[in-house]
Structure 1
Amino acid sequence: MDRTEILKALAHPARLEILNHLKDPHAHFATQEHPLELGVCASQFERCGLSQSTVSAHLGTLQRAGLVTTKRLGQWIFYKRNEETINEFLATLQREL
């Protein structure tokens, strides 16, 4: 876990919003065609008013920081929160701050 990368990833409001939406995908992405158990398809985030390239950049940053995991299925990539890393990061903050 790279705390610096996580802090950088969390520094942008759009990335925080993405993580928040991924916390409860059934509430935010109920209309997705594929089962939400796979994760949320990147195209679903475009309805938040962000372009495809912007969404891809934000999701890439979250992935590099370890905050989301991906699963490729054909041409689609599905994203889920990486709860293990998130909980480890929060526990580290609790101990060190």
Structure 2
Amino acid sequence: MLRTPTDETRLRILAWLREAGPAADGVTADTVAERFSIPRPVAATHLRLLAATGMLSTSRSAGRVRYHRDDMRIAEVARMFEKGW
């Protein structure tokens, strides 16, 4: 699940979700697809993988899944890699 695509889309998504604005309230797969000009199923896959690793949390709003950064988990993963995990 930690495989990184060659275009670093998952890293770009995580960086975007750190910004203030629309991403601050969480995003849907449709929002990510539009923002990064990728097909919705591809965006959904990236988001599901990031959620499965704990880097994103989810909530439901109006029947849609919204994804949010989990900064504590991201910091934890970064520390593991810094220690040579």
TM-score of the superposed pair, with normalisation by structure 1: 0.72
SS of alignment partner, residue 40 of structure 1: coil
The corresponding residue for 1:33 is: none
The corresponding residue for 2:33 is: 46
**Structure of greater Rg:** 1
The runs of 5 or more residues in structure 2 that have no matched partner are none
The runs of 5 or more residues in structure 1 that have no matched partner are 31-35
Residues 44 and 25 of structure 1, relative CA distance in 2, 3 Å threshold: farther
Q: Decide which structure has greater helix share.
A: 1
TM-score of the superposed pair, with normalisation by structure 2: 0.81
RMSD: 1.8
* AA at the equivalent of 1:21: W
CA apart distance, 1:90: 1.2
